A and B are shown apart, each in its own frame.
Chain A
């Protein structure tokens, strides 16, 4: 069993309320049918029935953990999530596979890049975006504690950095000093790219803090307000359309607090991305560490050409642009 399967299995052993469901998307749970018996339910390629049945099970006290590709889970069955799970505020855990750029070569039909916007629009829905397998495994027990529904952007990639603190649900992991030139707030698989971009930018003399948000709902408002107040630039990096994701969530909050901030949204704007292998997709759509670093650098130059940041960066600038290409 994979660590994810192992976790679901041991949790299901300890908690008879748990049922594992899918609409024939078994990639993450292939080993479980044999172990869970009639608490593993595969309804076939029927997302609406999957979600309605999850609501029925939750209504009777079960804790369904529901799997499908993120695009089909959140969009084919959206009204069943909103109407059956959302209105009743039922504790269903929705696990969306290959969200954002992770659908790599599938093309726009499979691109869940409005999923955060859609799920965020459902009252009480929590939106969780683990940065790697380690966080995924810690997010699931947290989601099970929730009295209402949760949506998880499934990502089980290897952990490429040392986590700084215990997984603290709803609280951003802060990489870097609270007071930095640039704060990059991001979530999910892009946390790794942001951390690599940080190294590149710091080599150019720009201090960078990365906020691994971990959840978009709840939003770690304190971390965001602090970043807005104490940095010269707040970058909101996400593999999502511009509408409705982290950028929107942060802007709503800052306007609500009447906080001014210098913000650079790095997202998919309003375009589906060009499909291909993940490595190439990252680079082509501007989300690789190098593209992120170079976009931020160009933005700073344009905005703060005469400010001190240029004088600190300038000596290493040529070296960095060489590296960044």
Chain B
């Protein structure tokens, strides 16, 4: 890999590590959906910091790309990424779950960079379809990225949306599946088996790419597909709790309340993991 490529990856990893620290700190007090957030930090870092038309100084640009977080409970990952990229001061994250700010367990569009509120699963694909339809009417090249959980694929509205987006030939739409293989209480395959997942999306007429959801090079390629009339789904294979070795892949790591000591331990574990070769590109 070239030096400039190395620098790019190093920058993204540094943002992601800082973002994960914010997420871990949000477990204080009332807790947060830690495992579900850590699996998709790298997805947001890739989208917001590596090539999409997104920046804090173009929040009202009609040609900006749109990111919608459909698995709303992973909002710590989104907020942590946004604050690291300068959308709002990190100080605000300390107000998590206090009524003095709008930062709680699900997204609120009062927070700069958040396009729409969510929390009820299975909504943002349809909202994203509306935004993509508007872009088409305006002849804008703006694209729409919808991040869903794999457990969220249980919702019927997702499959409705897959049909409609294909029928409407919304090539500007990218559905990103945070495929950490766990839902709230069990492995996805134990409750509502999704596999063969890529085949399902292909059968619905979508372009499908399956990538390592923690590889910034694979994500960048997947988020910039060859232009097509077909919408694209990116199945991002991820790890619940990514970055904290003790928590990775654990069913019980979905929601965590952390004491000050827990938080110190988790951050220490995160810093150790960053140094490990497994995390490197």
Contacts and interface: CB of A to CB of B under 8 A. Distances in A.
Interface string A33-65: 000001101011010111111111111111010
Interface string A61-85: 1101000000000000001100110
A88 interface: yes
A77 to B, nearest CB: 9
A38 B160 contact: no
B18 interface: no
B53 interface: no
Nearest to B120: A83
Contacts of A282: none
B76 interface: no
A224 interface: no
A48 B160 contact: yes
A19 interface: yes
Interface string B121-162: 011111111111111110000000000000000001100110
A44 B163 contact: yes
A87 interface: yes
Contacts of B122: 48
Interface residues of A, number: 29
A11 B159 CA distance: 34
Contacts of A38: 133, 136-137
Contacts of A60: 62, 130-131, 134-135
B117 A88 contact: yes
B164 interface: yes
Contact of A52 (B117, B123, B156, B163): B123
A63 to B, nearest CB: 11
B123 A83 contact: yes
B163 A56 contact: no
B127 A55 contact: yes
Contacts of B124: 52
B163 A57 contact: no
B161 A49 contact: yes
Interface of A: 19, 38-39, 41, 43-44, 46, 48-62, 64, 79-80, 83-84, 87-88
22 contacts: A38-B133, A41-B133, A46-B163, A48-B126, A52-B123, A52-B125, A52-B130, A52-B157, A53-B129, A56-B129, A56-B132, A57-B134, A58-B130, A59-B130, A60-B62, A60-B131, A60-B135, A61-B134, A79-B120, A84-B123, A88-B109, A88-B116
